[in-house]
A and B are shown apart, each in its own frame.
Chain A
Amino acid sequence: MEMQHINVKLLVREAQSVDLEPLIPVFHSWIENQNGDELLIDVADYTHVPAGPGVVLIGHEGNYSVDNTGNRLGVRYNRKESLDGSNQDRLAQAARAALSAFQRLETEPRLGGKLLFNGKDVEIFVNDRLLAPNNAATRDALDADFQLFSRKLFRGKPYSISYGEDPRSLFTAFVKAAQPLPIGELLEALA
């Protein structure tokens, strides 16, 4: 089964201490600098919506956000354009994009060191209900992909995977490492 339009969300540590407003100028400066492979276009502020998408950096190939959907605050990458390669390639691309963005945000002085990865929680969504409806068949078909990817990401260290239940939701894998790992190590694992 082909996965496309993969979203990866990395949950933050101490979400209650994070103020999303300072992200707006940060994302604007990312657009100004355009220092990546992707075209960055606009910033959408949804901080007024409870448990919403937060602040979204709109791009052509993908969106970046600090997203509070489900009251789980995290840095999210939403791949919009399709990608060639295998499911593993696409999972790695989305994870690298999310991890790199989070790494920049962790060290961004305007955020005062308050936006930090919790080191454990990685949520993976397939943002296409036709390709990957949220049901048992998809789970059976994709579980091996998620296991393989998680082993690689966490370098063989213990982790667990659970899947979202609501058939109306996007197909979602909740991957949790047993021990926290820094972003740098996770990026190295995917290099």
Chain B
Amino acid sequence: MKVSNSSWAERLAGKIPESLGREIDNFETEIALRKQGKLDERLFAETRLRRGAYGQRYDNGQRHNGKTVQQLRYPSGELTKGPNTMWDAPGMQRIKIPAGGLNADQLETLADLAEEYSDGIAHVTTRQDFQLHYVHIEDTPTVMRRLAAAGITTREACGNSVRNVTACPYSGVCPDEKFDVTPYSRALSKFLLGHPDTQNFGRKFKHSFSGCSQHACGLASMHDMGMVAVTKIENGKEKRGFEVSVGGGLGAVPYQAKLFDSFVPPEELLPLAQAISRVFARLGEKKNRSRARIKFLVQDLGIEKFKELVLEERKTLTEDPRWTEFIPAAETFEEAPLRPGGKAPLLGSESFQRWVKTNTRAQKQDGYTVATIALPLGDITAAQLRSLADIARRFTRETIRSTVEQNIVLRWISQSDLAELHKALEAAGLGASGAGSIVDIAACPGTDTCKLGISSSRGLAAELRKRLNEKNFQLDDSVVKLHIKISGCFNSCGQHHVADLGFYGVSRKMSGYAVPHFQVVLGGEWEHNGASYGLPVIAIPSKNIPEVVSRLTDRYAANRKDGESFKDFIGRTGKVELKKMLEDLARPPADPSDRSFFQDWGDPRQYTIADIGTGECAGEVVSSVEFDLAAAERELFEAQVALEDRETEQAGTKAYGSMVRAAKALVKIESSNIADDPALIVREFRARFYDTQKFFDPFAGGKFAHYLFSAQEKSGQPYTPDSARYLIDEAQLFIDAAHSCYNRISAPAPV
């Protein structure tokens, strides 16, 4: 904790907007109250989350060192900053960057904070935020003050609130957009920040803006409320508006947003968002967090009923001048270049030519280019942030944006300056090529710092990046364009559902040992705002994932038809063939003494110690539970194949059957003669594993058991393509949770 904390408030007096200053003062008071035991830990947890101060791995004071669970004895003793969250444990500070827009001073502020309060690194997230890791809770008010003085807030960056409003980073300069969505996204962000109608949500709410429907940059289809710019002619004049969708989202089970209105004029955008907020606050689930996102409300009500409720709510709103006062400026909003436009140089070094090919794109304004700075794993050092600030001042009017691909773009680069810009970026270690290509892998923090991480998404991303970079020049052009996205668990922070090759972390037992795995998710689409979601094909040990990538990309390069997308290639190949192609990689290592298989990428610890030391012949110990869970996975795979073949009813039935089979596998641990009756199995499962909380995930609680209960309730009803698809995702998560449950209950108690 910094000595200077108490002096910063005075130093920054008058430089912080009053409302933000008051908020931060309140938070500081709450910190003091919590330290005195006068504020409940749950209340404090939500209040800090709403300020973007998040927990991090090992903040419960326990760390598995590969052999045993080790107690981390933080000096503050029993004082907590939330349930099971030790006061002194380092945490993560999320920083909202609406539409990803930054200026040079803000980059410098982020640099200072990364150096003084974190570990020298600022991290760009998949929602255009920045994150600082390993920050002490008592430093956070100062971090917030210094950010606020630079025009940045962390308010509502986490918690059950309106999160960062994202927007296409090419807005205003993209040749394919309808119009620049930047000022509209900023207006919405400002309007909803701290708005009374957004303070009583059961879960978070995410908005996104896109300037067009064909590219991925805004990812409007996977947001709670997604806006795509559209225009129409009214009285001979072009009128701006938004195609608005609601109820999209990734998470454990991804939902595509439903079209709410194909044309919402700008003057109705903010009141519509307000009305939706009110309906969500009033009717959204509050108790069961796993059903509390708006996608479930839209699904349960149906889009027509939801729309009806929202429009009724809209009528009750009191006119607010903020709804429209931003519009005149929005309609004329345009960034300006610093330097005159020019022509791109035709010559240059090989590395410059490669960089131009992958990291630049022409703006709609003649003579200008957007340049992308590809950040490895979204990480940038304090020194690089300062260099980038200098570069932005030298070549632009500080037109900087962060992107959902965890990169940063500089807009309005005169094409005549490209060679000089590249030279400056290279000097700062920021001139790597490959932006938006297969080497530009997105990954959530995973087990590195996230409390929920199951496998090392960053470790895998770093390894894949290294291997793909080594053979980058030999890769087929079609392969270079693919996207890899990795999440450390089912929660999809790495956006694996919308990747060509998606992976999410799961754990499995092999030869009696817990082994980090990734589910291979194929068939997703990044373009068209993330228009379709991939499905899990097979779980593969983490150490074999690079070979998965090689096999799939080699097959695609060799067998693709002219112009065939990876998604179409995956569809044409079919799940059966794909699984056949990969299933040998799912097997345990030939040499059981090869310890590396039981470690994750970048982490030398044994993945779990629970199974070490059982002594003899561990490789042959396979319980009947494991066989039964494998059978459940097989049945689920058949469900996927049925869905692919448009056999909706069969897909749904098999998905439900796979869940029942997995539940039965667990029930058999306690009652080996259980009959093959789904109702009885579910009843027994509930009594033995749900009511006793044995099935409960340490973080998700009973969420996955509810998937089974809900599937049973609906089991007589016909399945639709949507409902079958959702059920397949839910079944996969239920089976993964059954594996975890079995791993927990079969492991010896920690020493």
Q: Which residues of A contact B (CB under 8 A)?
A: 2, 4-5, 24-25, 28, 31-32, 34, 39, 41-42, 44-53, 56, 58, 60, 63, 65, 67, 69-70, 80-82, 127-131, 166, 168, 170
Contacts and interface: CB of A to CB of B under 8 A. Distances in A.
Contacts of B429: 49-51
Contacts of A28: 65-66, 603-605
Contacts of A168: 108, 111-112, 386
A54 B165 CA distance: 33
Contacts of B459: 45
Given A5-B116, A32-B65, A82-B3, 17 more contacts: A41-B90, A44-B133, A44-B134, A45-B602, A46-B121, A47-B462, A48-B377, A49-B376, A49-B379, A49-B381, A50-B429, A53-B119, A60-B74, A127-B115, A127-B116, A129-B112, A168-B386
B386 A60 contact: no
17 contacts: A4-B2, A4-B3, A31-B65, A39-B74, A41-B89, A42-B63, A45-B462, A45-B602, A46-B381, A52-B120, A60-B88, A63-B119, A69-B120, A81-B1, A130-B4, A130-B8, A166-B386
A179 to B, nearest CB: 30
A46 B90 CA distance: 18
Contacts of B11: 130
Contacts of A58: 90, 119, 134
Contact of B121 (A4, A32, A53, A60): A53
B246 to A, nearest CB: 38
Interface string B1-44: 11110011001000000000000000000000000000000000
A37 to B, nearest CB: 11
A110 to B, nearest CB: 10
Among A25, A80, A82, find the residue whose CB has the most chain B CB atoms closer than 10 A: A80
Contacts of B121: 44, 46, 49, 52-53
A41 B63 contact: yes
Contacts of A65: 119
A162 to B, nearest CB: 18
A160 B381 CA distance: 29
Given A28-B604, A170-B115, A42 B3 contact: no
Contact of B4 (A47, A60, A131): A131
B448 interface: yes
A34 B465 CA distance: 33
Contacts of A4: 2-4
Interface residues of B, number: 50
Contacts of A46: 119-121, 379, 381
Contacts, number: 123
A170 B108 CA distance: 12
A128 B120 contact: no
Nearest to B602: A45
B465 to A, nearest CB: 7
B504 to A, nearest CB: 21
Nearest to B68: A32
A51 B376 CA distance: 13
B70 A32 contact: yes
Nearest to A51: B429
Contacts of A131: 3-4
Contacts of A170: 115
B621 interface: no
B4 A52 contact: no
Given A4-B3, A80-B136, A82-B3, A39 B120 contact: no
Interface in B450-469: 459, 462, 465
Interface class of chain A by DSSP? loop
B338 interface: no
Nearest to A26: B604
B58 interface: yes
Interface string B90-111: 1000000000000000001001
B75 interface: yes
Given A60-B74, A82-B1, A52 B116 contact: no
B58 A41 contact: yes
Contacts of B4: 4, 128, 130-131
Nearest to A131: B4
Among B2, B73, B133, find the residue whose CB has the most chain A CB atoms closer than 10 A: B2
A166 B462 CA distance: 32
A81 B2 CA distance: 7
B3 A5 contact: yes
B37 to A, nearest CB: 22
Given A32-B70, A60-B75, A130-B4, A42 B605 contact: no
A48 B379 contact: yes
Among A24, A34, A60, find the residue whose CB has the most chain B CB atoms closer than 10 A: A60
Among A39, A44, A82, find the residue whose CB has the most chain B CB atoms closer than 10 A: A44
A125 to B, nearest CB: 9
Contact of B604 (A2, A24, A129, A130): A24
A26 B215 CA distance: 45
Nearest to B7: A130
A39 B75 contact: yes
A56 B119 CA distance: 8
8 closest cross-chain pairs (CB), A and B: A50-B429, A25-B604, A130-B4, A53-B120, A48-B376, A32-B65, A4-B3, A82-B3
A42 B57 contact: yes
Contact of B383 (A32, A63, A70): A70
B431 to A, nearest CB: 10
Given A28-B604, A46-B379, A39 B134 contact: no
Among B72, B112, B119, find the residue whose CB has the most chain A CB atoms closer than 10 A: B119
A101 to B, nearest CB: 16
A150 B192 CA distance: 56
A128 B65 contact: no
Nearest to A46: B121
Contact of B63 (A5, A31, A166): A31
B74 A52 contact: no
Contacts of A53: 119-121, 381
Nearest to A83: B3
A102 B481 CA distance: 44
Contacts of B111: 168
A60 B379 CA distance: 23
A126 to B, nearest CB: 10
Contacts of A69: 120, 381, 383
A44 B462 contact: no
A47 B73 CA distance: 28
Interface in B342-387: 376-377, 379-381, 383-384, 386
Contacts of B74: 39, 60
Nearest to B5: A130
A129 B116 contact: yes
Nearest to A81: B1
A60 B449 CA distance: 15
B379 to A, nearest CB: 5
Contacts of A45: 448, 459, 462, 602
